[in-house]
Structure 1
Amino acid sequence: MSGIVLHLLRHGVTEAEGRLIGHTDAQPLAAGVAACVARGAGLAVEAVRSSDLARARVPAQQIATRLGLDADEDARWRELDFGSWDGMALDAIDAGALAAFQQVPARHVPPGGEAWPALVSRVSAALDAIDRPTLVLTHAGAMRAALTSLCAIDFPQLWNIALPHAALLSLRIWPGTPRVGQIIGLVT
């Protein structure tokens, strides 16, 4: 079996740049939407999905329309919930707590936020629903969680993979238990 191609596209720039935005529904900027639409143009997919947050949902809808497809929303593709840090400027967060979280997010959860293993679990469940060539408009954390689930890459190695706004990560995935994947491209 040749596997299924899965494209994960990070949302573009938003009105909340410079802030830690997880479940905050920051609005996308026109330039961010345009960057995603350009990146998604011409992809050979049969389905378009997105996080239910506007910064991913809006470009997904535009890409899907151009491809003659519907865009389906799935909250499992949301970013990590940063709890009380959500919406804060990075320099407003306690530097020691932020560093601990970035080094070992499974043990150092943002106050009132979501643990890294919970994000990996929900993204893994979303991956189980992929059954044909698909584009998912999502967030950097969810993309890293997919890499953990499919390719067994975890922290600190995940920080070595740059995922700027409108980054396109392409994988080939094979169904089964466990589902496995192979990185076939990264465009930043």
Structure 2
Amino acid sequence: MAGRRLVVEADGGSRGNPGPAGYGAVVRDGDTGRIIAQAAEFIGHATNNVAEYKGLIAGLKAAREIDPDASVEVRMDSKLVVEQMSGRWKIKHPDMQPLAAEARTVLPRGQVEYTWIPRERNKDADRLANEAMDAGKAGRAWEAKPLVGAAAEPRAAGPVAEPAEPAPEKAVPKAGWAAPADLGTPTTFVLLRHGETPLTPEKRFSGSGGSDPALSEKGRWQAERAAAALAAAGSVQAVVSSPMRRTRETAETVAARLGLEVRYEDGLREVDFGAWEGLTFAEVQERHPDDLDAWLASPKARPTGSSESFTTLTHRAGVARDKILARYPGRTVLVVSHVSPIKTLVRLALGAPPDSMYRMELSAASLCAVQYYADGNASVRLLNDTGHLR
């Protein structure tokens, strides 16, 4: 079943550029077009572009609060913001770079697309931005008005007309076919699942809320084999790892062979499986059958006693991915993690639904590879490779 679709319309303005500035954003239901959330704020002395980016961030955060797993289309009349966030234009201005980086962390990249619309199609966000600036001039905070009457009326949320501005000379092909040279060198994630622990052969749930086991003797051997294979390939330029013990030990084994330092990223840790930690699937099915059925049926369901769902993981892993992409553009990064985060990164790269995770096999110490291009496309190059363990 397709997930929920939301449309964010955002705008920002400055009276003087730079001058007194504010932003506005609305979130529409993607099927009915009805406004279901709105945000606006006076931000003081700033430029139009800063205000527009802040409006974008506010709109994305409002959409995330409604449904963190929804697909989101952002519509703005700022060609600059749309092109930069789509990856087609470089972000050179130092004021824009941190704002764009923040915008990319709100929702996973694969859930958001950007569309340029003419100004007359962005009247609601523009109205809110002006309300915020008026409020700031009067020395008061902007207050949201109830969504009644014309402001809440449905409006077409389907495909919009092509912009009046000239289209690019060449359409950007999907990365899996023939990425053009002007996109530059892609960033490559080599995804390594940690080696075995005593719980792995028994297929017991082992998340971030359990005993945090160390590698077994076989797991240490697997880490050494992975290290030898990656050293022979000679392509890895950085190592980033989940901070859990089994991933730390795996990452440090490989990094020592490669002569690299390990950077730890909390967003790469495994899901907290709550009361299921240390149990087999059969034991969970016997003790918590209703919770297990709900968990298998919906990415928003949580294991018994856990505060974390696969929807939560999707956001966390997407933020971690974007932080690594921002730190290591155009480089090959070894990412050492666990079953669920790695499967999540692969499915986001494919644009696959959440239940696709149950159709992936991921062996201990296996390798996957994903390449990320500047236009936002991704290409899965390898899945569950265990050739180095034979």
Q: Please state how far the C-alpha of 1:20 moved relative to its aligned partner.
A: 0.4
**DSSP-derived class of the 1:169 partner:** strand
What amino acid does structure 1 have at the position aligned with 2:246? R
Distance (Å, rounded) in 2 between the aligned partners of 1:9 and 1:70 = 16
Q: What stretches of structure 2 of length at least 5 have no aligned partner?
A: 1-183
Where structure 1 has 5 or more consecutive residues not aligned to the other structure, the ranges are: none
Whether contact under 8 Å (1:85, 1:110) holds in the other structure is: yes
Seen in structure 2, the aligned counterparts of structure 1 residues 31 and 182 have a Cα distance that, compared at 3 Å, is same
Contact 1:170–1:184 (Cα < 8 Å) also in 2: yes
Residue aligned with 2:304, SS: coil
- SS of match in other structure, 2:344: helix
RMSD between superposed Cα atoms in Å: 1.8
**Mapping 1:137-176, distance limit 5 Å:** 137-175=336-374
Distance 1:160 1:85 in 2: 21
Equivalent-residue separation in structure 2 for 1:10 and 1:117 (angstroms): 21
SS at 1:129 equivalent: helix
Matches within 5 A, 1:85-100: 85-93=276-284, 94-100=288-294
> How far apart, in 1, do the equivalents of 2:216 and 2:268 lie?
20
Distance in structure 2 (CA, Å) of the matches to 1:183 and 1:12 = 22
- Which of 3, 9, 22 is matched with 2:207 structurally? 22
Partner of 1:10: 193
| Structure-2 residue corresponding to 1:181 | 378
- Identity percentage of aligned residues: 27
Q: Deviation at 1:144?
A: 1.3
Work out the CA distance in 1 between the residues paired with 2:348 and 2:260. 27
- What letter matches 1:125 in structure 2? V
Aligned to 2:304: 111
User: Which structure: larger Rg?
Assistant: 2
1:10 Cα deviation from its structure 2 partner: 0.7
**Structure 1: how far apart are the matches of 2:312 and 2:275?**
17
Pair 1:37-2:224 in alignment: yes
| Contact 2:192–2:335 (8 Å) recurs in 1 | yes
Contact in 2 for aligned 1:49/1:72 (Cα 8 Å): yes
Q: Is the 8 A contact 1:103 1:155 kept in 2?
A: no
Distance 2:318 2:374 in 1: 12
Contact 2:223 2:250 in 1 (8 A): yes
**2:322 alignment partner, one of 120, 128, 132:** 128
The list of structure 1 runs, each at least 4 consecutive aligned residues, that deviate by more than 6 angstroms after superposition, is none
Report the Cα distance in structure 2 between the residues aligned to 1:47 and 1:158, rounded to whole angstroms. 27
Evaluate the alpha carbon distance shift between residue 65 and residue 20 of structure 1 in structure 2; reply closer, same or farther with a 3 A threshold: same
One-letter code of the match for 2:352?
Answer: I
Q: 2:312 is matched by which residue type in structure 1? A: A
Q: Secondary structure at the residue paired with 2:354?
A: coil
Change (3 A) 1:76 1:175: farther
Distance in 2 between the 1:182 and 1:37 partners? 28
Give 1:73-84 correspondences, 5 Å limit.
73-84=264-275
Higher RCO (Cα < 8 Å, 6 or more apart): 1
CA deviation vs aligned residue, 1:34-75 (integer Å, no higher than 9, x gap): 213312432411111111111111010010011000011211
In the alignment, the residues of structure 2 paired with residue 45 and residue 69 of structure 1 have an alpha-carbon distance, to the nearest angstrom, of 9
The Cα of 1:28 is off from its aligned counterpart by: 0.9
- Range with greater deviation from structure 2 (8-17 or 94-103): 94-103
One-letter code aligned to 1:182: S
Structure 1 residue 96 displacement after superposition: 4.5
CA distances 1:99-143 after superposition (whole Å, capped 9, x unpaired): 432342x23211232111111111111111222210011101001
SS in 2 for 1:156: helix
TM-score normalised according to structure 1 size: 0.89
